[in-house]
Structure 1
Amino acid sequence: MNRKTLVLPVVAALLTPLLAACGGGDKSRAIVVGTTDQFVATEDAPAPLDPAFAYDTGAWNVLRQTVQTLMHVPRGSGQPVPEAAESCGFSDKQSESFRCKLREGLTFADGTAITAEDVKFSIERVLAIKSDNGTAALLANIDTVETKGDREVVFHLKTPDATFPYKLSTPVAGILSKDKYDGKQLRAGFDVDGSGPYTMKTERDGDKVTKFVFTKNAKYKGDITLRNDRVELRPFTDAAVMDEALEKDDIDMMARTMSQSQIKDLTEKPKDGIELTEVPGLEIRYLAFNTKAPSVEDKAVRQAMASVIDRGALVSEVYGPTAQPLYSLIPSSVTGHATSFIDTYGEPDTAKAAKILRDAGVKTPVKVTLHYTTDHYGAETAKEFEALRGQLNGTRLFDTQIQGTEWSKFRPAQKRGDYAVYGLGWFPDYPDPDNYIAPFLDSDNFLNTPYVNQSVRDRLIPQSRRQADRTAAAPVFEQIQKIVAKDVPVLPLWQGKQYVAARDDVTGVEWALNTSSDLLLWELGRGTA
């Protein structure tokens, strides 16, 4: 059957569709999913699948299948609900004490009983290791973890945080066995032991994974319903090779990241037996700055770049209808979004940029190198940076070079501060405006940035988290976005849509990729919708 399936995005909380696919096919035959994510153990990142270190979409897509969390975001998004827990909630009006009770009879995949002490160990382990990947920042507001018997755990927070249930839904809060994980150091390699819906085995070529095999965990107890018994996740070097595998029926679905040309072709010229599905997405792309680097230390340079980059032309030239210009860190479909950059700088204006640089005494052309990763965000990334170079150099205010590096080397170099200007993407850990602000501006942030605004860190972020009604926090987020537009520690470029292509006998495709780009492989089945 040739058709394009469309699941429409909605604002803030996503509505659950009325009808879900139900399959009557063979659950035992593995469903094979392709991805362009690469899984490599390196000297800089020897433990890519340790929950205390992992902080990229690819690694989390493995951990979500294998490591259980107390809570999870349900199908169709919305507020987190208990997963490994049977109940969770704040026990005070100030949102400073969060209590969870574990399900009865909960065990790891090897049959070992899970107790509240395992939860305490897992959380305290992340905070003790405090890896340089920024992962621990999600749990940094925890003051103490208290256990009451074998099944009850209480998190005492340093300051009120209405977003805490979301944080407990991320793999960083995954429940681990103290018998198999060291409490003070990362676990190298690709082995994962947990209590999630699947157990996992890997096939490898040296330090690189060539296949993950997920098998239904017979001892799993939780809120997730599995619609298959086995799924394989196969990394591909690029989207074109992944596409060939789908056409040959070597794989059943290709998820992230499809190229813009593939999406265009499947939209305009549907292929027999393959369906294209658009699913809600909250991905953003941006340039970030090492604000201590000599070439961009003067914020006038960053402001001038913000004044001349033409997001509309960039999106039109490179991504077409699969993306839209973004003028804030917070996407337009998330509560709290403001158009702070266009409000501050207006439409691209070379004369305005020249005045900013002239008034600051900055000599032109300013020499800058834009760094990007060649193998992490999709086939169009190189073309995007060529377009950015063309825009900046076209003003004669900048002398711009671009440099591409594979992700396994790019990310460590970026964290070390080797790059003055670099491009990254962000897939939210949870669908709340807080997660587009704190990972970039709070202490111990994902970027490891030297930029610090004490008003944002000490006053505005904590103030936003006090609001249980997230719409009430919108004015605070608007203030933060104005500060970001003025100081330009990051420069938002665009927000993207998500697409999945699958064989037409695979069901549950519309649920298998959520707004945070999490692969929910248990949703996939075989049969007819």
Structure 2
Amino acid sequence: MNRNTLVLPAVAGLLAPVLTACGGTGSASGGGDAIVVGTTDRFTVSKDAPAPLDPAYAYDVGTWNILRQTVQTLMIQPKGEGDPVPEAAQSCGFTDTGNERYACRLRDGLTFADGDPITAGDVKFSIDRAMAIKADSGVFALLSTIDTVETKGDNEVIFHLKTADATFPYKLSTPVAGIVNPDDYAKDKLRDGFDVDGSGPYTLKAEVSGDEMTKAVFTKNPHYKGALTVNNEDVEMRSFESADAMGNALEKGDIEVMTRTMSPEQIKELSEASGGNIELVELPGLEIRYLAFNTDDPGVKAKAVRQAMAQIINRSELVSKVYGSSAEPLYSLVPASITGHSNSFFNKYGDPSVDKAKSLLTKANITTPVKLTLNYTTDHYGPATKQEFELLQKQLNAGGLFDVTIQGAAWDSFVPAERNGDYEVWGMGWFPDFPDADNYVAPFLDKDNFLKLPYANSEIRNTLIPQSRREADRLSASGSLTDIQDIVADDVPILPLWQGKQYLAARDTVTGTAYALNSSSTLQLWELSRGVGD
């Protein structure tokens, strides 16, 4: 993995605050030896999402970053890049030539944080529970290739798959496959609130105000047995209402590490500074942004409308004016750095053209201007999202073919609305569950997709996805994956916009920051420690 770490100054006024942290401020040293990490992720309990931290429900990067510290999985993505490696398991592997039978043996002496022993039965309970609950977040679909889970004694678990799935080891590294204690989690009901009990490297104490968790306090789990080396005793994660407030807290020393989501202005200013005691760490990113379509909605039901939008939107202008060097245009659901990527949208539409878009609409007898509302979330993907949608609106309306309005909503109301089918077009981001092309295809296009899109292509679902999963050598799956991307470019149920890099900023008293994020945007808090930066 390529890294570029810049040592930068804490310039006075660099990140001017506009709002204060939900969890209050106070000196980083005032909380003892805990390393204090800031985030703009918000963690709320609501009627629509009463169990945000239950592994059978959680399905966004923020909640997964809580669970990855606390709930252990059989497999884990390695420190750098590469295939997943055993974590709670001592060993795992396919036991047949068809990639349909996968067996794991647990480490000896595994226990939950409360000291209760972990058995193969607990693993089976956890997996069966997530599959049975079928939470409306759609996270259970990651386990869709499992037919049955078998145990042999207390230490061996065997997964019998419905069909070949070479990506299955990756899926066992995700929080939905986290091992939970049957004493703490009902088999047929989600666990409401912010309590999490597992066997991961940390235990969690949540500080809550009203319906929101304002601070997550992670304490090293003395019972932890796994593949990770935990380099600190305590980490605090504080939620902030804005990137500016988080940046100001870093500058003052109230926090020591700043994670997602930094604004493009912050990234630019930090990257252009020199000297000082704040480091900006730039890492390759696999995050993508896209527009999703409710293809049953009258406004976008006609494929020509969606194709015309794909023909007009200027990704290069969008990236340069809003995100600068922190992003790059994306012409497929699969990022350019992932094996199997194809520039399908560019191959089909080429450069932006109002004339070509007009031709598409005219041939389909679509009356113009087409009136649409583009919906976006105001508080989940960073402060630049509104600017992004203002520019998309301008691009689409400029040629007179569209009459687009934009509408923003807070994440806790945005998600239920898009899942209920209230939006015709909406913007979303995707942080991969694991770094494989399958994870940019199946969650959007397969049955039980997490967006609940009405779009269903039988060739993709019944032939191309299963065909791609049979290939243990992922390069050999490129043919099937290219066909999927070409179909998406033609039908446009989803319109990819850009892929982004990922950033972390830290004071030079904290080390280990180069590994604090992996390629799937997973926070690896166990990598952080105290010391003087190089």
Q: Does 1:368 align with 2:372?
A: yes
Q: Which amino acid aligns with 2:449?
A: N
Q: How does 1:76-91 map to 2 (within 5 A)?
A: 76-91=80-95
CA contact (8 A) 1:415 1:447 kept: yes
How high is the TM-score relative to the length of structure 2?
0.94
Q: How does 1:97-108 map to 2 (within 5 A)?
A: 97-108=101-112
SS of residue in 2 equivalent to 1:288: strand
The aligned counterpart of 2:19 is none
Provide closer, same or farther for how the CA distance between residues 6 and 157 of structure 1 changes in structure 2, counting only shifts above 3 A.
Answer: farther
Deviation at 1:204, TM superposition (A): 0.8
The aligned counterpart of 1:471 is 475
Whole-angstrom CA distance in 2 between matches of 1:248 and 1:46: 35
Which of these residues, 447, 450, 457, is aligned with residue 446 of structure 1?
Answer: 450
Count residues with an aligned counterpart.
509
Q: Does 1:75 align with 2:79?
A: yes
SS of residue in 1 equivalent to 2:447: coil
Q: Does 1:458 align with 2:439?
A: no
Which of these residues, 424, 430, 439, is aligned with residue 435 of structure 1?
Answer: 439
Which of these residues, 225, 230, 235, is aligned with residue 229 of structure 2?
Answer: 225
* Per-residue Cα deviation, 1:269-310 (whole angstroms, up to 9, x for no partner): 246210111012100000000000110001110000000000
Q: Does 1:353 align with 2:350?
A: no
Which of these residues, 194, 199, 204, is aligned with residue 198 of structure 2?
Answer: 194
Which of these residues, 478, 483, 486, is aligned with residue 482 of structure 1?
Answer: 486
CA contact (8 A) 1:4 1:275 kept: no
* Per-residue Cα deviation, 1:490-527 (whole angstroms, up to 9, x for no partner): 00000001111000111110100111111000000011
Deviation at 1:6, TM superposition (A): 6.3
Whole-angstrom CA distance in 2 between matches of 1:280 and 1:93: 34
Q: Does 1:95 align with 2:106?
A: no
SS of residue in 2 equivalent to 1:223: coil
SS of residue in 2 equivalent to 1:457: helix
The aligned counterpart of 1:338 is 342
Whole-angstrom CA distance in 2 between matches of 1:518 and 1:405: 26
SS of residue in 1 equivalent to 2:229: coil
The aligned counterpart of 2:5 is 5
CA contact (8 A) 1:96 1:161 kept: yes
Q: Which amino acid aligns with 1:321?
A: S
Q: Does 1:157 align with 2:161?
A: yes
Q: How does 1:57-456 map to 2 (within 5 A)?
A: 57-270=61-274, 272-456=276-460
* Per-residue Cα deviation, 1:114-154 (whole angstroms, up to 9, x for no partner): 00000000000011000111100000110000000000000
Whole-angstrom CA distance in 1 between matches of 2:529 and 2:274: 22
SS of residue in 2 equivalent to 1:244: helix
SS of residue in 1 equivalent to 2:200: coil
Q: Which amino acid aligns with 2:384?
A: E
Q: Does 1:49 align with 2:53?
A: yes
CA contact (8 A) 1:288 1:490 kept: yes
* Per-residue Cα deviation, 1:155-186 (whole angstroms, up to 9, x for no partner): 00000000000000000000001111010011
Q: Which amino acid aligns with 2:510?
A: V
Whole-angstrom CA distance in 2 between matches of 1:4 and 1:199: 32
SS of residue in 2 equivalent to 1:281: strand
Whole-angstrom CA distance in 2 between matches of 1:370 and 1:28: 46
Q: Which amino acid aligns with 1:334?
A: I
Deviation at 1:489, TM superposition (A): 0.2
CA contact (8 A) 2:6 2:271 kept: no
Whole-angstrom CA distance in 2 between matches of 1:100 and 1:28: 40
CA contact (8 A) 1:28 1:229 kept: no
Q: Which amino acid aligns with 1:398?
A: F
Deviation at 1:28, TM superposition (A): 7.4
* Per-residue Cα deviation, 1:367-403 (whole angstroms, up to 9, x for no partner): 0000000000011000000000000010100000000
How high is the TM-score relative to the length of structure 1?
0.95
Whole-angstrom CA distance in 2 between matches of 1:271 and 1:52: 45
Provide closer, same or farther for how the CA distance between residues 270 and 411 of structure 1 changes in structure 2, counting only shifts above 3 A.
Answer: farther
Whole-angstrom CA distance in 2 between matches of 1:490 and 1:271: 43
SS of residue in 2 equivalent to 1:201: strand
SS of residue in 2 equivalent to 1:499: strand
SS of residue in 2 equivalent to 1:182: coil
Q: Which amino acid aligns with 1:229?
A: E
Whole-angstrom CA distance in 1 between matches of 2:83 and 2:66: 22
Whole-angstrom CA distance in 2 between matches of 1:182 and 1:439: 26
SS of residue in 2 equivalent to 1:283: strand
Cα RMSD (Å)? 1.4
